């Protein structure tokens, strides 16, 4: 009897979903046929016709849409992984500083975290781009024997040039994410029982040695879930690149929709590319997690 009720409830739910889906699909088909666009992916092999400022591989406007999307995908990966490294580095630094006994350093890092966390990322990105880089005009801000060169063209590091859009995005994303990563690090270290601190002190280890040898290894597994979710957030936040004019996967999808009007196909492409990206990040973090657990045995 009870099983029957459950069964009918599920059937009912499926029916509702089907009716809803059918209504939406019906409206979609009517609207698409009215605009005369239709639904197919043949346009991917047609020439794109727009130029890209940022091209890690060779690209010209006569190349196909598919190639443009691939370039955007590579641009996204480039900015995500480079800001991921920087964000982790700054985040660890700030997280440790927050726990420092020196109250001044703790205060500075607490201030940094609230200011960064309580203002929108978009505002910070616009700040780094319009104030940070475009305000430099042509005179260079920091020119250190041609090793590092900050200018309106971006950063020139040992002769490798990074565009100002990329650099602004890198700065904004890594600083924004670092504040969140700092909180993850702090939480992880606080999760180690206080007895461990007392134990290594009573064994006569120095503060630094005990922190590195005793506390950090125990806190590492606690970092991983928080770090994974922050990295996923960073990957999703990187789509704000469009605000500073960096051509990542979302910006290129946006351009293609404006050109061809193929919103649904582009939505599917964007969805699948982010699913792949999420899987990539979660799997890499899963491998790191396994390595950490194995090293503890």
Q: Give the shortest CB-214-to-other proteins separation in angstroms.
A: 21
Q: What is the DSSP string of 44-90?
A: GGSB-----S--SS---TTSBHHHHHHHHHHHHHHHHHHHHHHHHHH
Q: Give the shortest CB-93-to-other proteins separation in angstroms.
A: 14
Do 133 and 172 form a contact (C-beta atoms < 8 A)? no
Q: Binding to other proteins (CB under 8 A): which residues in 81-140?
A: 101-102, 104-105, 108, 114-115, 117-123, 126-127, 130-131, 135
Q: Give the shortest CB-160-to-other proteins separation in angstroms.
A: 28
For residues 58 and 208, which CB has a smaller minimum distance to other proteins in the complex? 208
Q: Is 151 helix (H, G, I), strand (E, B) or coil?
A: strand
The Cα–Cα gap between 132 and 150 comes to 10
Q: Binding to other proteins (CB under 8 A): which residues in 236-255?
A: 236-240, 242-243, 250, 253-254
The Cα–Cα gap between 288 and 295 comes to 10
Q: Binding to other proteins (CB under 8 A): which residues in 260-289?
A: 263-264, 267, 270-271, 274-275, 278
Q: Give the shortest CB-139-to-other proteins separation in angstroms.
A: 16
Do 91 and 246 form a contact (C-beta atoms < 8 A)? no
The Cα–Cα gap between 51 and 262 comes to 19
Do 46 and 65 form a contact (C-beta atoms < 8 A)? yes
- Binning the chain into helix, strand and coil, the percentages to the nearest 5 are 75, 5, 20
Q: Give the shortest CB-288-to-other proteins separation in angstroms.
A: 20
Contact with other proteins (CB under 8 A) among 18, 19, 22, 24:
24
Q: Give the shortest CB-225-to-other proteins separation in angstroms.
A: 12
* Interface map 204-243 toward other proteins (x if CB under 8 A): ----------------------------x---xxxxx-xx
The Cα–Cα gap between 129 and 165 comes to 7
Which residues bind to other proteins, rule: CB under 8 A? 6, 9-10, 13-14, 17, 24, 27-28, 30-32, 34, 101-102, 104-105, 108, 114-115, 117-123, 126-127, 130-131, 135, 232, 236-240, 242-243, 250, 253-254, 257, 263-264, 267, 270-271, 274-275, 278
């Amino acid at each position: 009897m009870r099983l029957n009720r459950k069964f009918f409830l599920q059937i009912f739910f499926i029916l509702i979903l089907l009716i809803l889906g059918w209504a939406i699909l019906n409206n979609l088909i009517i609207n698409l046929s009215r605009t005369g666009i239709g639904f197919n992916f043949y346009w991917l092999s047609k020439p794109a016709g727009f130029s890209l400022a940022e091209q890690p591989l060779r690209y010209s406007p006569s190349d196909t849409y598919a190639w443009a999307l691939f370039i955007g995908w590579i641009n996204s990966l480039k900015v995500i992984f480079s800001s991921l490294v920087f964000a982790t580095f700054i985040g660890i630094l700030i997280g440790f500083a927050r726990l420092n006994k020196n109250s001044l350093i703790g205060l500075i890092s607490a201030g940094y975290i609230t200011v960064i966390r309580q203002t929108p990322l978009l505002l910070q990105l616009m700040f780094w781009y319009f104030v940070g880089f475009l305000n430099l005009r042509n005179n260079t801000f920091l020119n250190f024997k041609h090793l590092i060169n900050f200018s309106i063209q971006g950063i020139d590091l040992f002769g490798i040039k990074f565009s100002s859009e990329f650099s602004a995005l890198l700065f904004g994303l890594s600083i924004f994410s670092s504040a969140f990563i700092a909180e993850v690090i702090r939480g992880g270290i606080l999760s180690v029982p206080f007895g461990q601190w007392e134990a290594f002190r009573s064994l006569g280890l120095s503060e630094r040695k005990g922190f590195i040898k005793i506390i950090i290894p125990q806190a590492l597994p606690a970092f991983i879930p928080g770090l994974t979710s922050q990295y996923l957030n960073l990957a999703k936040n990187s789509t704000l690149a469009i605000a500073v004019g960096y051509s990542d996967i979302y910006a290129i999808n946006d351009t293609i929709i404006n050109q061809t009007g193929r919103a649904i196909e582009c939505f599917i492409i964007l969805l699948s590319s982010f699913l792949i990206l999420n899987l990539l990040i979660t799997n890499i973090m899963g491998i790191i997690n396994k390595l950490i657990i194995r090293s503890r045995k």
